[in-house]
Structure 1
Amino acid sequence: MDALRTPDERFNRLLDYPFEPHYIEVDGLRMHYVDEGPADAKPILMMHGEPSWSYLYRHMIPICAAAGHRVIAPDLIGFGKSDKPTDITDYSYQQHMDWMQSFLDQTGLTDITLVCQDWGSLLGLRLAAENPDRFRAIVLGNGMLPTGDQALPKAFQIWKNFAIYSPWFPIAKIIDTGSFKKLGPDEKRAYDAPFPNKKYKAGARAFPKLVPASPNDPATEANRAAWKVLEQWEKPFLTTFSNGDPVTRGGDKYVQERVPGAKGQPHVTLTGGHFLQEDSPVQFATAVNDLLARMDGGGLG
């Protein structure tokens, strides 16, 4: 497949993003990730979604690393500092899963705490369900694992049509609109940095139409199988949804009822829109740290 690599100078002097880059190769493509904190500590895997990149977690990474955790934040293929196939048909749900499975295998991560939102959840929850022995806990914020068996919110249908048909796909504006806070000019530059022009945006355009929307979607059977694992998941499962996301509203209650590991957890509702990492990063990171402190202190399994 043909792929583009965003010039490194696009990422020079980004606000609040001092992290050294790390790279591995998946399927002939270069994949970038942040790796902060003690190298021998149990890892937190922070997975971003659409149309963001690891910059979304810039305020949370130092907080969790300072608490003694190793924090891994990859850029999905098509996003951030990772390579970007140029044809929208190069992207599929299963292809993203294969890329992430390769990332997991090459990095050798175990005892993982997954932190995920948006498409980070569609991929991350599947990843955990398909590699349950490698994950010790899950923290889910504003995300879900749809199978196509339930109708998607109207707000999502509007977003899907916009991504497919709009001639204008302004990355920073999308994130700004999906947050309670208003992004500053430096933050907008950082979100736009991976995409010098429209040729780089195929991955971002592709994601909305890959969400399973019918029972015969190509990803339905694999997601149903993942749910069978999650319905037996006894390890800690914490929800940290925001109070202002029209797309995922109510998903936290749905998950809490289906996942055994969610029972008795101190679930929190954070203030914010869809991109709660922008609106409540300290509270989000603190919820993750508190969960791990309880686990490591013997309060949880």
Structure 2
Amino acid sequence: MDFVRTPEKRFERLLDYPFDPHYLDLNGLRMHYVDEGPADAKPILMLHGEPSWSYLYRHMIPVCAAAGHRVLAPDLIGFGKSDKPTAIDDYSYQQHMDWMQGFIDQLELTEITLVCQDWGSLLGLRLAAENPDRFRAIVVGNGMLPTGDQKAPPAFKIWKNFALHSPWFPIGRIINAGSFRKLGPDEIRAYDAPFPGKKYKAGARAFPRLVPMTPDDPATEANRAAWAVLEQWDKPFLTTFSNGDPITRGGDAYMQKRIPGAQGQPHVTLKGGHFLQEDSPVPFARAINELLARLP
């Protein structure tokens, strides 16, 4: 598997990203992650989606760490400071699952609180369902675990075609377009930083086509099996969706009805677009802290 590694100079002096880098090896690929807060505290695992990286959580990590939690925010393989295989076919749903399983195994994480959005939810919800004894709570904002049995919204189909076929794929501007607020030039530069050229973007272009869209998708059976676990999930399950995401709108109500652990939780609707971490980072982080403050 051929891969590239973004030069470190691309990450120098990024706005509001003061975190020390941490790395682990996953079968020859280097995965980067942020690790803040007390090392002996119960971990919060923040999983980003498409086409962002751990920079997305920069305003949330300090809020949760200050509350006494250990906060881990990995860059998925193909994103951020992690290594990037250069062929779109190097990426599959199961391969991403294997990389994330390797991450929690190497760090020996237990009593995890999952925080996820977008593709972070497709991976994180599967990860929790396949390792239920290692997770204590789940918080989902603008995310879902699709099986291909439901019709995809038109906005997603447009996005999928753009990601696969557009010769122009400006990561920072994509994040900006999916946020209510206008990102500044330094923030857009930070989102562009991991991707200095076309060969660095294979992972970002691959993700939309990996979403299960039909009942016979390669990931469908595993996702259905995960739903069978989630339908019995009685640990805390909190939704923190935004009010302005055309892709995941309605997913919060769907999960609240289907997952037992969602009953009686203080679900919130936050102001923002698809990237609610940009629009409502502090309310999002506070909702996590308030949930965990009620747990033993």
**1:82-109 residue CA offsets vs partner (Å, 9 max, x unmatched):** 0000000000000000000001100100
Deviation at 1:295, TM superposition (A): 1.0
Pairs within 5 Å for 1:242-257? 242-257=242-257
- Are 2:103 and 1:103 equivalent residues in the alignment? yes
Matched residue SS, 1:295: coil
Which residue identity lines up with residue 163 of structure 1 in the other structure? A
Instruction: Name the counterpart of 1:181.
Output: 181
Structure 2 distance, partners of 1:276, 1:36, is: 21
TM-score by length of 2: 1.00
Answering whether residue 170 of structure 2 is matched by residue 149 of structure 1, we say: no
Aligned residues: 296
Task: Give per-residue Cα distances to partners, 1:119-160, cap 9 Å, x unaligned.
Answer: 000000000000000000000000000000001000000000
DSSP 3-state at the match of 1:191? helix
Which residue pairs with 2:118 in the alignment?
A: 118
1:232 aligns with 2:252: no
Give the TM-score, by structure 1 length. 0.98
What secondary structure, in the 3-state scheme, does the structure 1 residue paired with 2:212 have?
A: coil
Runs of 5+ unmatched residues, structure 2? none
Partners of 2:183 and 2:22 in 1: how far apart? 27
| Cα deviation digits, residues 53-85 of structure 1 (max 9, x gap) | 000000000000000000000000000000000
One-letter amino acid matched to 1:162: F
Q: Distance in 1 between matches of 2:291 and 2:280?
A: 17
Shift of 1:110: 0.3
Unaligned runs of 5+ in 1: 297-301
Deviation at 1:21, TM superposition (A): 0.2
Distance 1:279 1:198 in 2: 28
Q: Could you report, residue by residue, the CA deviation over 1:185-230 in whole angstroms, capped at 9, with x for unpaired residues?
A: 1101100000001110000000000000000000000000000000
Within 5 Å, give how 1:55-94 maps onto structure 2.
55-94=55-94
Runs of 4+ with deviation above 6 angstroms: none
Task: Give the percent of matched residue pairs that are identical in Structure 1 and Structure 2.
Answer: 82
Residue pairs, 1:276-291, within 5 angstroms:
276-291=276-291
1:171 aligns with 2:149: no
Cross-structure match for 1:299? none
CA distance in 1, matches of 2:36, 2:165: 38
**Structure 2 matches for 1:125-140, cutoff 5 A?**
125-140=125-140
Report the CA distance between 1:27 and its aligned residue. Answer: 1.9
Please state whether the residue corresponding to 2:295 is helix, strand or coil.
Answer: helix
Matched with 1:31 is 31
CA distance in 1, matches of 2:248, 2:27: 32
Cα RMSD for the two superposed structures: 0.4
Partner of 2:292: 292
3-state SS, counterpart of residue 253 of structure 1:
helix
Offset from partner CA, 1:243-269 (integer Å, 9 cap, x none): 000000000000000000000000000
CA distance, structure 2, for counterparts of residue 10 and residue 241 of structure 1: 32
The alpha carbon displacement at 1:235 in A equals 0.1
Q: Secondary structure at the match of 1:15?
A: coil
User: What SS class does the counterpart of residue 278 from structure 1 fall into?
Assistant: helix
Matched position secondary structure for 2:44: strand
Instruction: In structure 2, give the amino acid aligned to 1:54.
Output: S
